[in-house]
A and B are shown apart, each in its own frame.
Chain A
Amino acid sequence: MTIVLIVVGAALGAPLRYLADRAVQAGHDTVFPWGTLAVNVAGSAVLGFLAALPAGSGVMAFAGTGFCGALTTYSTLGYETVRLAEEGARFHAVANAAASIVAGLGAGYCGAALAQAVS
């Protein structure tokens, strides 16, 4: 059952990352990868919320391991950071790594605070 929940969650989360990334990029025209930052921050907020509730094992398999796990990505973040540096946008590369960490952790703690407020 856990495996089914993970599969369904990830099958929703991965395409949503792709669609959200497209939508964010369509709204601006810079080299900075705002789309990936947006999905990583959003997924961190949701998982921070669920982990702090704490949600049951079924919900964690579906929404945590599956949906948030597939919605967020480290491979894309790492590749973008290296590509920005290769293109000569060193400041953007460092800013991308730093902003991901700061905004991701901030979002995770906001999610956890919200969980404590409602539970």
Chain B
Amino acid sequence: MTHGAVDPDVDLHVPGQRAELSWSVLVVIAAGGALGALARYGAQSALPASPAGFPWATFWVNVSGCLLIGVLMVVITEVRQAHRLVRPFLGVGILGGFTTFSTYVVDVQRLVAWGAPVAGLVYLAATMVAAVVAVWCGMRVTRRLARVAAR
């Protein structure tokens, strides 16, 4: 297990990440962010929430993005050495652009404003709990599969 890196976007405690800032890194983050945001828009368009309805699309976008970052970070930090642009493109760009915190906050405000404060509070807490559980499951399952594959 690697220790030190806590922030999957960029963690300056990791010597390699202190020196990684370059145009190529910023370009792949921008490209990944655009793809992730389009995927989120697609999910929200396919499953639109009514003003007082539970925002299922954003909920599942955030939870699935958390599951995937758990898988990704274990693969590229514990299982194998990845190309230097893999984490910026997939982790910072695609998953960072796919998941969103600002929409989550405004969703809660909208539910409260439309007279559904209980739904707002449930959504507020359920997203955070499900997000953390999803990251944990993604990391745990990936570590187990990596151990099985290594045997």
A residues apposed to B, CB below 8 Å? 2-3, 6-15, 17-19, 21-22, 25-26, 31, 33, 35-36, 40, 43-44, 46-48, 51, 64-66, 68-84, 87, 97, 100-101, 104-105, 107-109, 112
Contacts and interface: CB of A to CB of B under 8 A. Distances in A.
Interface of B: 3, 5-12, 21, 25-26, 29-34, 36-38, 40-41, 44, 62, 65-66, 68-70, 73, 88, 91-93, 95-106, 108-110, 124, 127-128, 131-132, 134-136, 139
B31 A11 contact: yes
26 contacts: A6-B37, A7-B34, A9-B37, A10-B33, A14-B92, A14-B96, A25-B12, A33-B7, A35-B10, A40-B101, A43-B101, A48-B102, A48-B106, A65-B40, A69-B40, A72-B102, A74-B131, A76-B69, A78-B62, A82-B139, A84-B6, A87-B6, A100-B101, A104-B101, A105-B109, A108-B109
B69 to A, nearest CB: 4
Nearest to B8: A79
B65 A75 contact: yes
B96 A11 contact: no
Given A22-B21, A82-B70, 17 more contacts: A2-B41, A3-B38, A3-B41, A8-B34, A18-B10, A21-B9, A33-B7, A35-B9, A47-B105, A47-B106, A51-B109, A75-B65, A78-B134, A79-B70, A97-B128, A101-B124, A104-B105
